[in-house]
């Protein structure tokens, strides 16, 4: 027999594929379609899940220790830190006194009583226990604020010319001088313009006694109030003096160093205040 014929009669072996192998496996195992689907799902899940990596315990413990240190440090910071100081609004300082007084007493103006300041001053003057020659300073508060010259003039019912008010520094002093025989109200203004303030004082002379009548030390009738001031020299300073019919001084004023206007209700008080200015002139 021809060998070539034998070779030609042998069948060509089938090519193995993934599909043919699967079919053979199913046939041999006699698997149902449900089992095949279940195994296929299980295989997919196994393939997707990443293998667990071993945990580095040293890194874990280091992280926990670091967190504990941060927590403890934060707690110690809040416990040991100095408390933040609470800012308390400071009350404005009492307006300065142009000359040194023996005492300072605050007057609080009563908004419901326009005459409360005059009443308080007269009540203070009635205290005979004061040492002779003592000077007491009375800063005034209006609605919780320190009164300027323009504020307290209406409280005292004084009506100087507007030109006079326009020349004033806001800081002004009201005082009571306790003399040998009288207790005198005094006021010290600081003028920004000597010529304007002096000329306006001359204009105010016409009604100054009427304005000051409630606090005059020497009593007199309003109908007989004098109007004419006279020139006088007190402590080597020019002054203007108003006397009543009994030749008693009821008002006097002087302008020290062309800046400080002193008005008071007796010659003794004016002399004492000028002496303090001369001894320690304010800046």
SS3 string of 55-77? CCHHHHHHHHHHHHHHHHHHHHH
Give pLDDT < 50 ranges for the chain: 5, 44-50
Please name the residues in contact with 160: beta carbons below 8 A apart, sequence gap of 6 or more. 153, 200, 201, 204, 208, 211
pLDDT at 159: 93
- Structural domain boundaries, residue 141: 103-279
Per-residue pLDDT of 75-122, as tens digits, reads 766 666 655 555 555 667 899 999 999 999 999 998 888 889 999 999
Burial call 132-146: b when 16+ CB within 10 Å, e when fewer: eeebbbbbbebeeeb
Number of compact structural domains in the chain: 1
Local structure of residue 97 (DSSP, 8 states)? P
Q: Are strands 230-234 and 140-142 parallel, antiparallel or unpaired?
A: unpaired
Alpha carbon separation from 10 to 39, 163, 268 (Å, rounded): 39, 142, 157
56 in any annotated domain: no
- Cα 173 versus chain centre, distance: 25
14 in any annotated domain: no
pLDDT at 227: 84
193 in any annotated domain: yes
pLDDT at 180: 86
97 in any annotated domain: no
| CB of 235 closer than 8 Å to CB of 277 | no
205 in any annotated domain: yes
3-state helix, strand, coil in the chain (%, to 5): 40, 20, 40
| pTM of this prediction exceeds 0.75 | no
pLDDT at 136: 95
181 in any annotated domain: yes
The token pair that represents 143 in the structure block: 């609605």
30 in any annotated domain: no
CA angle, residues 249, 126, 250, in degrees to nearest 5: 10
């Amino acid at each position: 027999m021809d060998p070539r014929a034998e070779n030609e009669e042998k069948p060509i072996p089938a090519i193995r594929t993934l599909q043919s192998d699967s079919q053979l496996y199913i046939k041999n195992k006699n698997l149902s379609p449900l089992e095949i689907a279940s195994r296929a799902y299980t295989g997919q899940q196994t393939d997707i899940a990443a293998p667990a990596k071993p945990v580095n315990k040293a890194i874990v413990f280091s992280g926990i220790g670091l967190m504990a240190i941060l927590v403890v440090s934060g707690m110690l910071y809040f416990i040991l830190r100095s408390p933040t100081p609470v800012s308390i609004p400071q009350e404005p300082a009492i307006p300065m006194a142009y000359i040194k007084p023996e005492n300072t007493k605050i007057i609080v103006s009563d908004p419901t009583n326009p005459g409360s300041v005059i009443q308080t001053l007269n009540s203070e003057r009635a205290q005979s226990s004061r040492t002779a020659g003592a000077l007491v300073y009375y800063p005034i508060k209006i609605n919780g604020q320190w009164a300027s010259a323009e504020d307290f003039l209406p409280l005292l019912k004084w009506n100087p010319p507007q030109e006079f008010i326009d020349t004033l520094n806001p800081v002004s002093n009201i005082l009571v001088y306790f003399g040998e025989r009288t207790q005198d109200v005094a006021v010290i203004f600081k003028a920004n313009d000597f010529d304007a303030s002096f000329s306006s004082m001359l204009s105010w002379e016409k009604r100054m006694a009427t304005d000051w009548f409630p606090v005059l030390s020497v009593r007199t009738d309003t109908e007989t109030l004098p109007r004419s001031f006279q020139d006088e020299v007190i402590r080597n300073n020019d002054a203007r003096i108003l006397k009543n019919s009994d030749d008693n001084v009821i008002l006097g004023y002087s302008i020290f160093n062309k800046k400080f206007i002193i008005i008071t209700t007796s010659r003794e008080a004016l002399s004492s205040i000028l002496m303090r200015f001369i001894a320690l002139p304010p800046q």
